[in-house]
Structure 1
Amino acid sequence: MRTLVVGATGFVGSRLVRALDEEGHDVVAFSRSADSESFPDGVEPFAGDLGDPESLEGLCDGVDVAYYLIHSLTSENFAELDRRYAARFREIAADAGVDRVVYLSGISGDETDLSPHLASRREVETVLAEGAFDLTVLRAAVIIGPESASFRIVDDLTDRLPVLVVPQWVRTPCQPIGVQDAIDYLTGLLRAAETRGETYDIGGPSVCSYESLLRMTAARKGRNIRILPVPVMTPKLSSHWLRFTTDVQYAIARPLAESMRHPVTVREDYDIQDVVPIDRTPIEAAIAASLAESSRQASR
């Protein structure tokens, strides 16, 4: 099967390219920096920019399934860019006769009072759903992995301070998922025809709070931390607080912080585990794997 990964050099995209290639798919890897050295032998790199229509000629030619992994959080006008890029890709994919598109979105709780970040994810889902192809949407909360912006915030916080005065949202329920589990769901749905045209939540085997996630990460590093939630720190203030407590770009950390006030857990009726069952990784094991990979990367 000829598969296209849009956003192939990103945190999830690079892993997805390798997994699809290992499963024997004919993979096209698209990003602005795509080149043959970035991917396994046999993967076809396609360098282009969704902001430059001329660079996209032939992108979807012969493609059966396309994974759309574009999120523009580094830009102030990220919602506008995401809307424009999604519409452009939708038309290119439809014109080329792509059979199926898979979009990785975000869990957003009860779907009310959405943060700009999560509202943008919903808008992209709507834009892609208007295409002449079957759309499958997977919604994830925190993806645990070394390059995940959400998990890097957790990692940085547990490195910086023995006492954390944190926003009240640290007690918000969430259902993190290890990056390998996310990849397994993304590839596994190709073998489940019933996932066409459907939307699913993906998460790990248990629910925790951000506070618990901080404590588990600190414990894995052999650190003891005290966490003091304060109710007066608004989402806007907490995003500024992150400017001084994490190395994650402020333009990325701000919308993520605004989203953390929402419970993000897998809804029973939307759980993909019922359709694409996998052996899910416990949160503690996913944290350990992420920290170990970060350590290997730092030692290279």
Structure 2
Amino acid sequence: MPTCLVLGAGGYIGVHLTAALASAGHRVRALGRSLEAGPDVIRADVLDETALRDAMAGVDVVYHLVHSMTGADFAATDQKIAVAVAAAAAEAGVRQVVYLGGPRPTDGPMSAHLASRAQVGDVFLAARTPALVLQASMIIGAGSASFELLAKAARGGPVLPNPSYMSNRSRPIAIRDVLHYLVEAAEREPVNSVADIAGPDTVTYLDLVQRCARIAGLPKRLAVPVALPPAVVAAVTPEPLVRSLVESLQHDLVPAEVLPPPPGGATSVDRALREALGVPTPEGPPIDSPDLLRDHKTTRVRATRDRLWQVITDIGGSSGWHTVPGAWSLRGALDHLVGGVGLHRGRPTHLNSGDTVDSWSVVERSDATTELVLRTDMRLPGRAWLSLRATDSDRPGESGLEQTTWFEPYGLAGKLYWYAQKPAHDVVFGFMGSGIARTAESGTG
């Protein structure tokens, strides 16, 4: 196993990476100004020549996670640090430098923050030691500066200022996926190249704030257009790091090509937000509860099971719910009025456990049993779940749709609610079954 040195090990990424490398079986050495000195832990400034030289002795892979971000000349400082690290790595015979930088937008002049990141990457690429420059936009994880800025905006109140730059797009990436790529870099042959890493979902900054609010259990924010360039916001922002992040919002940060996803697939925006917010993955219905109410419907579908399953897993968002037009929108509006999440129109590209789709959370998605289980997040006098399952049929080219709803009532009020809404429930879910079947049979959607 290679010996790894993490520079900037006291920062957000550095702390997580040091633990991830050790967990993967690598010997890890850490250097940072805020660290407590100890075995394989060096408390020093990266510009301390002696400390840097000693830290690199016998090291195979160096991770550069240092970003000064303070002072008017932070870009010059970052470049000076990169030059010193590159020289020390070459002298020590390091086989690979790994640098985590930011994207390089092409839609206009780069912000000072992103330009500095690109400049540091270029220093390493031009040096004698092979360098892998990984480029990521927003990293979602508890404690990440960009995530904390996002969460603050989501929790800021029912009204959300919506400058034009909020329509710019990004492909945020979960901290767990960033760590996968960083750890993987220690186990591969040395390369000298630039590679973008990103999550699976392309979202606008406005959508990102709305999703964060949604997963936190907050109503959809009322977006009010305002003429507020990011440079103006940055000018009145005291924190240098936050100011730099705000300046970067002026860009579309959607890479054309990214590295292949981690094993098991990339982490969706919704799941990353859920983990960062500390919101637990939703639980399924308590099947053994004597109070649990159940309704079951079956629909014959003149399409294959695979085709039906595709329609089921595409449900929600722009695809809709294949039911009475306006039914879910009306229900969502009523929920919003009583302080619930309402009908958030959105879903990740690929549904997995922990994701959200409109006013539902995904409890389970099983491709083996072709079953999707959802839990509603609307305010009810109880808890409700919906299962959509594609089944085989004895008839060639056909399949069956099984719809099951469960409701765990909260006392008498919950039971009265269940029976009062049962007629409307039968109509809405009956139309849903027929609509899903028609979409599968038509080959559209």
TM-score bracket, normalised by the shorter chain, equals: 0.7 to 0.9
> Counterparts in 2 of 1:155-194, with a 5 A limit?
155-193=151-189
Deviations 1:33-56 (A, max 9, x none): 22258xxxxx71011102333443
* Structure 1: gaps (5+ residues): 38-42, 244-248, 294-300
Q: Is 1:84 the equivalent of 2:71?
A: no
Structure 2 counterparts to residues 107-122 of structure 1, below 5 A: 107-110=103-106, 112-122=108-118
Distance 1:51 1:133 in 2: 19
Query: Within 1, Cα distance between the matches of 2:107 and 2:160?
Result: 30
The residue type equivalent to 1:96 in the other structure is A
TM-score with structure 2 length normalisation?
Answer: 0.59
For residues 286 and 130 of structure 1, what CA distance do their matches in structure 2 show?
35
Q: What is the CA-CA distance between 1:277 and the residue it aligns to?
A: 5.5
2-side partners of 1:94 and 1:34: how far apart? Answer: 25
Aligned counterpart for 1:104 among listed residues 93, 100, 117: 100
Partner of 1:251: 240
Q: 1:272 aligns to what SS in structure 2? A: coil
> d(CA) in 2 for partners of 1:102 and 1:112?
27
Relative to structure 1, the CA distance from residue 240 to residue 218 in structure 2 (aligned partners, 3 Å threshold; closer, same or farther) is farther
> 8 Å contact 2:104–2:118 — kept in the other structure?
no
Which residue in 2 is equivalent to 1:221? 216
Question: How big is the shift at 1:279?
Answer: 2.0
User: In structure 1, the residue corresponding to 2:260 is in which secondary structure?
Assistant: helix
Greater helix content: 1
Cα deviation, residue 125, structure 1? 0.9
TM superposition shift of 1:88: 0.9
CA radius of gyration, larger in? 2
Asked if 1:65 is matched to 2:76, the reply is no
Deviations 1:205-228 (A, max 9, x none): 110011111001111111121122
Which residue does the alignment assign to 2:351? none
By how many angstroms is 1:252 displaced? 1.0
Q: Which residue of 2 aligns with 1:298?
A: none
Pick which of 212-221 and 67-76 moved more: 67-76
Report what 2:22 is aligned to.
Answer: 21
1:76–1:251: 8 Å Cα contact kept in structure 2? Answer: no
Any runs of at least 4 consecutive aligned residues in structure 1 with deviations exceeding 3 A, and if so which? none
Post-superposition offset of 1:240: 4.0
Aligned to 1:205: 200
SS at match of 2:212: helix
Distance (whole Å) between structure 1 residues aligned to residue 101 and residue 136 of structure 2: 6
Structure 1 distance, partners of 2:42, 2:73, is: 26
Specify the code of the residue in structure 2 equivalent to 1:11: Y
TM-score for the superposition, normalised by structure 1: 0.87
Change in Cα spacing, 1:185 to 1:111, as seen in structure 2 (3 Å) is: farther
Tell me if the contact between 2:173 and 2:197 (Cα under 8 Å) persists in the aligned partners: yes
Trace 1:26-37 onto structure 2 (pairs within 5 A).
Answer: 26-35=27-36
Give the CA deviation at 1:167.
2.3
| RCO comparison, higher one (Cα < 8 Å, 6+) | 1
Aligned mate of 1:143, from 117, 124, 139: 139
Q: Is the Cα contact below 8 Å between 2:162 and 2:206 reproduced in 1?
A: no
Tell me the equivalent position of 2:8.
7
Runs of 5+ unmatched residues, structure 2: 280-445
The one-letter code of the counterpart of 1:155 is A
Shift of residue 234 of structure 1? Answer: 1.7
